[in-house]
Structure 1
């Protein structure tokens, strides 16, 4: 019977067609293993991470392949060639500065990507610039060093509570304005250090994010007109005891004066009287608290002078707050403002190493937050 080529149908491990135990079926070459170092050489040469490693692995692999009759010579040769080229490029890059330029660009790109955040991932003290106009709904902001120009600085945040369902943007806006005013006031006690065109700002959850569980309001100082430089932070940990005490005493006067009703006393007499009484209360409280502390020698005379001014202002604001009607209110209005010290103790601030000059707005007028 003539012999036909094909797999040998003997018992496993028995003699094959060649007469050798365990040999491969007739017509197929013996199976050869691939050298592992050759594979490593090629991979190292391709990825260009450690070109000398690929070169070394390839050189070691070649004699092993010959000695062990393994496959992989082509892989080893390719790894040696690619690694040699990578080494050459590395040397050229170091000599010309190209590696440094590439790494600098790569690092800058990674840093920029890391600084791109959702507004609701911002943290207290971070300065940022929104990707778009400040007043638009923002999905991304870029965190920057506060010494570089930026649009906003985060002062803190809080979670809205007390609602089982979306309460509407107006409701959250009202809560945010009051809460963020307090947060900002504690973050920047030295209000005169805040530029005149930098104001209260906050990010609110949207109706869509609310449904996903978002309840966070982010408070900030921000400028709609132009970027500003430097941090406005001057909270308690950054102040001395005297600085903190002085600012916490006089700041309420500044805050309440900005709450003057929009309606004239002719239109809403009651609201204006309530406001005048609030100003009077802040003046009297400041007068009393400034007198309860022993101030440093260099600041004591200025603080005493401020208390004297506040005592005079208290008498006039009492007349305003107890006016019988709108006409009497108007009569007491200008004298009350004239007696209230507009600088709120600039000399005392300077003596305490605080900002002694109020920020100047675009029109050259003083202003503060």
Structure 2
């Protein structure tokens, strides 16, 4: 009895397939087997599929780009287009906006950028601005506009607090020199103005706000001296221009303000021209002459308001002060050699002062009010009313008091 082998238990090895015949070197592979690698042919460039940078791949020339995560990249805005629009809007340099816009348009097309609308708008606005500029230059409108603009800027820059005023500055006061002023406008002294600063000083001697009355007394006395030294040629000061000053307020005092600003000012019609006549503007002869004569004028304005019948002592004191001023002027004029063309006029004035001194001596030594009244008119008549107009003219000073005013009361 014979048995056949059990096929379920005996493995049978499969017959291997017959390999295909080899292809010629470099030829196509049969059976769909892949090529061994990218550098299969010596001297051939590396090529790969479309997502490895080959022809037709995203980002390659002629192919659409792909941004991060497969999204298209954002297009940039042309900077020249933005500059063109800004220049066209502000109208500062219209030709610049026009040029920038014309340059931007071809750049936007070539670089596939955004901003075409901006460039076109800039070109249009700049073209309009250029047209307006040409019309303005032809008609003079630009000059008027620029002049008004410049004047406005200048005026704004000249607006100052009274505390910031300095000697020699002329100013206009919008409040017309009212009691409280927060700002003034500095102007050229050749232009109409309300006042001219003669000097400043600091108040001392007070630990706390002293009140307005004490400050008024200090300011009036100090500013009178400052103004007198600033405008020695008093006849050159217009008729309605008087002593004026700005005081610290109680509020500014708490902030440390102690400054008093002295000035010549008017609350009526503004005046033009500087009233300054001191050592910076006068010759030695002019300064000496005015310093000799001015005390007579200053004291004459201090005559007491009360008659000698009411206050005899005050009137005698005043007459004595004026007599001293006359005698001092007489002596000072005789101690100096004057320019040839003014010598005779100064000598004549000096002679008149000598005669006036005798009459004012009688007034100053009057025994009572009746004697005072008796000597009063002769004293004023002896004092030269023009205080040496001829001598002043010869020395190139103002030859007449403002509005024909004299020194007499």
State TM-score, norm by structure 1.
0.86
1:246 aligns with 2:300: no
Q: CA deviation at 1:204?
A: 1.4
The residue that corresponds to 2:5 in the other structure is: none
Aligned-partner SS, 1:299:
helix
C-alpha distance in structure 2 between counterparts of 1:197 and 1:108, whole Å:
29
Q: CA deviation at 1:73?
A: 2.6
Ranges in structure 1 where 5+ consecutive residues have no aligned partner: 1-13
Do the aligned residues in 2 keep the contact of 1:192 with 1:359 (CA within 8 Å)?
yes
Q: CA deviation at 1:367?
A: 5.8
The residue that corresponds to 1:101 in the other structure is: 144
C-alpha distance in structure 2 between counterparts of 1:98 and 1:229, whole Å:
30
The residue that corresponds to 1:196 in the other structure is: 239
2:358 to 300, 315, 336: 315
Evaluate the alpha carbon distance shift between residue 329 and residue 97 of structure 1 in structure 2; reply closer, same or farther with a 3 A threshold: closer
C-alpha distance in structure 2 between counterparts of 1:281 and 1:303, whole Å:
19
Q: CA deviation at 1:141?
A: 2.5
What is the correspondence of 1:1-369 to structure 2 with a 5 Å cutoff?
23-26=67-70, 28-360=71-403, 365-366=405-406
C-alpha distance in structure 1 between counterparts of 2:140 and 2:348, whole Å:
64
C-alpha distance in structure 1 between counterparts of 2:184 and 2:156, whole Å:
11
C-alpha distance in structure 2 between counterparts of 1:343 and 1:94, whole Å:
57
Do the aligned residues in 1 keep the contact of 2:352 with 2:382 (CA within 8 Å)?
yes
Evaluate the alpha carbon distance shift between residue 331 and residue 233 of structure 1 in structure 2; reply closer, same or farther with a 3 A threshold: same
Evaluate the alpha carbon distance shift between residue 226 and residue 76 of structure 1 in structure 2; reply closer, same or farther with a 3 A threshold: closer
C-alpha distance in structure 1 between counterparts of 2:173 and 2:90, whole Å:
38
Q: Return 181-190 or 100-109, whichever deviates more.
A: 100-109
Higher RCO (CA-CA < 8 Å; seq separation 6+): 1
Larger Rg: 2
Aligned-partner SS, 1:87:
helix
Aligned-partner SS, 1:274:
helix
- Cα RMSD over matched residues? 2.5
Do the aligned residues in 1 keep the contact of 2:389 with 2:399 (CA within 8 Å)?
yes
Evaluate the alpha carbon distance shift between residue 225 and residue 104 of structure 1 in structure 2; reply closer, same or farther with a 3 A threshold: closer
Ranges in structure 2 where 5+ consecutive residues have no aligned partner: 1-50, 60-65
The count of aligned residue pairs is 349
Q: CA deviation at 1:20?
A: 6.2
State TM-score, norm by structure 2.
0.78
